[in-house]
Amino acid sequence: MRGHLILRVVSKLLIPFLLLFALYVQFHGDFGPGGGFQAGVIVAAAFVLYALIFGLREMQRIIPPAALEVAVPLGVLIYAGVGVLTWFLGGNFLDYGMLDSHDPSHGQHLGILLVEAGVLLTVASTMLLIFYTFAGRGR
């Protein structure tokens, strides 16, 4: 990818905004359309774009596949961990209202934020891992 100057410059310009947009979608999730799934896919798309332009090896140097293999279950653990935490606080599984002892709606805010963070992590790393797995196979 030495020669494609325009592609390289444009993608370098685009990637920060893609990531920013992903964060917007992520944190907008508890007020309107958005959330971890969509944000995760946008994050993954930004990285996939990087890999397409600068090569898979360069991408794997930045985020090694082994790290992704840990990130996928870690996201699930964050999600489920919130559920387990609410158990210990005396509520039902994933009963976010328990997270704040004063105001349940604050707890719900906090809960959905944590859960969506887990979803973001899992979805983004799953998507990227799928890309790695298919792109890494020679013919």
Partner 1 sequence: MEGLNELAFVLGGVNHWITVFLIMAGLYIIVSRSNMIKKLVGLSIFQTSVYLLYVSPGKIIGGTAPIISDDFAVYSNPLPHVLILTAIVVGVATLALGLALVVRINEAYGSIEEDEVYSDGDWN
Partner 2 sequence: MLIDQFPAIVVGVPLVAAALCAIVRNETACWLIALAVAFLSFVGSATMLGQIQEYGVALSYEMGGWAPPAGIELRVDLLSGYLLVLVSLIATAVLIYGRQSVRVEIKESIRGWYYTMYLLCMCGLLGIVITGDAFNAFVFMEISSLSMYTLIALGKDRRALAAAYQYLIMGTIGATMYVIGVGLLFTITGTLNLVDMADRLAPLLDTPAAIAGMAFVVVGLSLKIALFPLHLWLPNAYAFAPSAVTAFLAATATKVSIYLLMRFIYSVFGFGFAIEQTPIPEVVMVLSIAAIFAGSFSAIFQENIKRMLAYSSVAQIGYITLGIALANATGLTGSLVHIFNHAVMKGALFMLVGGIALQIGTVRLSDMAGVGKAMPLTMFGFVLGGFSMLGVPGTVGFVSKWYLAIGALENGWWWVVALLMLSSLLVLAYMGRVIEVAFFRERPEGAPPISEAPKSMLMTAWVFILACIYLGFDTSFTVGVAQQAVDVLMGGAQ
Which residues contact partner 1 by CB under 8 A? 32-33, 37, 123, 130, 133-134, 137
Partner whose binding site includes residue 134, from partner 1, partner 2, none (CB under 5 to 8 Å by kind): partner 1
Angle between helices 104-135 and 36-54 (to 10 degrees): 30
Q: Who's near 101: CB < 8 A, 6+ residues apart? A: none
Binders of partner 2 among residues 47 to 106 (CB under 8 A) are 69-70, 72-74, 76-77, 80-81, 83-84, 87, 91-98
Q: Does 113 bind partner 2 (CB under 8 A)?
A: no
Q: Which is nearer to partner 2, 24 or 93 (CB)?
A: 93
Of the candidates 77, 75, 80, the one whose C-alpha atom is nearest the C-alpha of residue 117 is: 75
- Hey, what are 21's tokens? 């947009």
Minimum distance between the CB of residue 133 and partner 2, rounded to whole angstroms? Answer: 13
Contact 12, 58 (CB under 8 A): no
Give the separation between CA 15 and CA 77, rounded to whole angstroms: 28
Footprint on this chain of partner 2 (rule: CB under 8 A) = 69-70, 72-74, 76-77, 80-81, 83-84, 87, 91-98
